Structures are given as C-alpha cells and as structure tokens.
Structure 1
Amino acid sequence: MNVFDKIKGNLVVSCQALPEEPLHSSYIMGRMAYAAMLGGASGIRANSVEDIKEIKKTVDLPIIGIIKRDYEGCDVFITPTLEEIDLLCQEGVDIIAIDGTSRIRPDGKTISEVFPIIREKYPNQLFMADCSTYEEGIQAHQLGFDCIGTTLSGYTDYTKGKHLPDLDMMERLVKDISVPIIAEGGIWSPEQLKAAFDKGIHSAVVGSAITRPMEITKKFIEAIR
C-alpha cells in the first residue's frame, strides 16, 4: 500500500512546537505523535530532523516532514531551500512539504524556477506543495508536485483575512487537479474537518486544535471575553 493510500480519507496530525512555545521538545512531540497514532491518526506532519527521529521511535505512520527556518528578508520559511530538503531526504520521510507559494525564496528565485532542480535531484521523493491560493495549487500541479496542500491560505500577505478553512480552494482544486488535495489550515473542529472531506479532499492535516494547548486555551479565553 503506498503512502497516499494509507492516508486516504483519514486524518494526519501535525505535531509541532516552535522554540518560543512551552512544548518545544523532541521528546514531547514524540509523545504527541504517539498519542495521535493511538487516537487513530493515519499520518504525522513534523518539523525538524530531531523531532522526526524521536517520533519514529514509537510511531509507524507515514510522515510529512518539514523544516521551518527563517531567512532574513524572506517570508518563505517552510522547507525554504535545498539545504533543508537534503536534510529531510537523508533522514527519510515519506513526503516532504515545501512552500509552494509564488513568493520569492531565500535564493531570490521562485518555486517554478527551483522545483525542477529539486525534482531532478530527488526523482523518487514525494513532495507536497503548501499553497495559499487556487492558482498556486494549479501551478504546483503543473510543476509536478505529488500532492497539493491548502496549508498557507490565510497566511500570506495576499490571502490575509480569508475565512478558514478555505473550503472554496479545496473544492476548486479537487475539481481541477488529479493529484491528492490535502486540506490544512484553520481546521478547529470535527465539523470543519467533515466539511472539508465533503469537498472531496484526499486527506486532511490538523495541528493546533489537537497538539497546541496554548493556542487551544486562547480560543476558549476569546470565547468568554
């Protein structure tokens, strides 16, 4: 069974904590991923080689790997350069997710200039494009990405304020693209997750609503203020 069959119609749980967050720890992310697996998740999305190594100790599920890295003067931070891709390939993850937006990358190039080079170097690696618009999803498909995520809708300057989850983007991509569409971004409830699957998506990634207690707490506090 290939990796896309394994996650089809099911949930991938994103287990990430940034350095400034209380749960930032490879050990804790490993336990988070293990809990997600016991809860029925079909895959894990994880950030950094350290976290991925730890998760693999107890979790035998497909992994969508990323490396978040900030480069001065650049908005692209999800697996932004070939250096991060090399590290993830060496570690061995099922799918590597990279920024698939039209924004300029740290090397001054666009995804349409960079991805053919990446694909030539790693012809057998599966790649996911984290996009913010329908048009970026179409472009990513034309470039040869293996799956398309709605991950960055609402998180780029030109999509700020978009109502999330972006069900319209999901529906349009499902209709017009043959590769798996993975819903990600702004899914905070089981009802929203069901609404995403009703659009015909292949799989969905949920992170903050499951694995980030600080953000979950803020949501509850907002509701009573």
Structure 2
Amino acid sequence: MEKQKILDQIKGGLIVSCQALEHEPLYTKEGGIMPLMAKAAAQSGAVGIRANTVRDITQIKEVVALPVIGIIKKDYEGTPMYITVTMKEVDALVACGVDIVAVQGTGARRPDGSSAPEFIRAIKEKYPQQLVMADCATLEEGIACAEAGADFVGTTMRGYTPETKGCDDIDYAFIHELSEKCPAKIIAEGHIHYPEQAKKALEAGAFALVVGGAITRPAEITARFVSAIAE
C-alpha cells in the first residue's frame, strides 16, 4: 500500500495490536489465534493492525486487507532493546510485506553499539520506500528518530524505560508536546484502557492510536476487572 493511502487509511483511527507472547494463554505454536483477533478488529472498524512475528503477520495479512505495523520482539544480551532490534528482524519484516516496520526508538544502544537514530537511518538507506515507526518514551527520542527518517513516532515505550519509570497512565501533555514539536506523525500507544482515553489522545494531537491489551488480551482485561472489584 502506498504511503499516502496508508496515511489516509489510519488517520484519526484505531489500530488494534494483536499479539500473544509465548507465556500468554492465547499463544499457540501453530498460530491461528491472532488472525481471528485481527479479523474481529477489522469487522468492528479498526483501521490497521499491529502484530509481532513473521508467522502472525503473514497469517493476519491473509485474512484482513488493513495496513499492518510489524514488529519482532527478541531479547539480546547486553541491551534492554527488544522491539525489532537488528537489521535481521527488519529484513524479515520487509520480506513478509509489512506496511510499517516498528523499531524501538529509546535511548539504549543496540548490540552493535548503534543508537536508534543511526539504526533508522540504516533502514532508510537499505529500504528507502519502507515506512518506519519509532517506539519512543521521551520527546528527545521522538524528535531524534523523526529527524533520522522515522515516518511515525509512537508513545509506546513511555513508562517502560528508566527515564520514564512511574509514567503508568496515558500522558496527554506528552502526546500534545510530541505532536507540536516532532516532525513525524504521532501514534498514541500504551496505557489506553478506555474509549474516552482514546478520544482524548486524538484530541491531544495524535495522528492515530494503537490499542492492544484493552482489546486483545483477555487475561489482562480480566485482571483489571478483578482488581477493581477487590478494591
């Protein structure tokens, strides 16, 4: 899908993250669950899908025609980076036809010592037409990744890095500041649990939204209800 078509498709809309890691109840070795989640999301008005692993992405693209943000989560020794960390993962994502490759855009270094902006520049040099999203935690990270060529900057990592520890709720002021100062399109992701929060995130300046846990992770949803009842 061409860049402008993707922008037109996702602007102001809900992208649903359909992921299940190996320790989660909806994970199966053969897959098949996440495509059903994606299909349900598409039928209900989602404008895009975010997915992890080549297997899930390939299966999802067989059943829905929406743009896909693709990632590969993998731990590497010596770095806290785990979202699309090396060019090997990027190559695999491009090969399976993702519309947007998402990479971790935080301040830590990758295994080869490169920074997030350096990695993004390398991706753009190798794949000039590939859309890239940087999952960031701070304004500085977002601006640096955008200036390096990231087409989208996500708030995905806010609250999950040492610098942003304790940011456990959606930060509308952060979304607004990013939208004002960062040259990339801003995708609000993380800590969005309710429709009202999604609406406010768009009003704060987000170009689009990604919601996962509140829609596609029943264990997390159940835990939230159980916790509220206990209180």
**TM-score w.r.t. structure 1 length?**
0.97
Could you tell me which residue of structure 1 aligns to residue 191 of structure 2? 186
Could you give the per-residue CA deviations for residues 8-55 of structure 1, whole angstroms, max 9, x where no partner exists?
011000000000001013200000000000110000000000001111
Alignment of 1:168-183 (within 5 A): 168-183=173-188
Q: How is 1:71-86 mapped onto 2 (pairs within 5 angstroms)?
A: 71-86=76-91
Q: How does 1:32-71 map to 2 (within 5 A)?
A: 32-71=37-76
Q: Give the gaps of 5 or more residues in structure 2.
A: none
CA distance in 1, matches of 2:113, 2:199: 39
Equivalent residue in structure 2 for 1:10, among 9, 13, 17: 13
Count of residues paired in the alignment? 225
CA distance in structure 2 between the partners assigned to 1:42 and 1:114 by the alignment? 28
Secondary structure (helix, strand or coil) at the match of 1:96 reads strand
Matched, 1:96 2:101: yes
| Residue type of the alignment partner of 2:13 | N
Moved over 2 A (4+): 112-115
Report the alpha carbon displacement of residue 115 of structure 1 after superposing the two structures with TM. Answer: 2.2
Separation of aligned partners in 2, 1:168 and 1:39:
29
Secondary structure in 1 aligned to 2:32?
Answer: helix
Instruction: Please state if 1:166 is matched with 2:171.
Output: yes
Partner of residue 142 from structure 1, selected from 147, 151, 163: 147
Question: What displacement does 1:170 show?
Answer: 0.7
1:93-132 map, 5 Å:
93-132=98-137
- Work out whether residues 151 and 184 of structure 2, in 8 Å CA contact, stay in contact via their aligned partners in 1: yes
AA in 2 matched with 1:168: A
Unaligned runs of 5+ in 1: none
> What is the Cα deviation at residue 176 of structure 1?
1.4
CA distance in 2, matches of 1:100, 1:178: 15
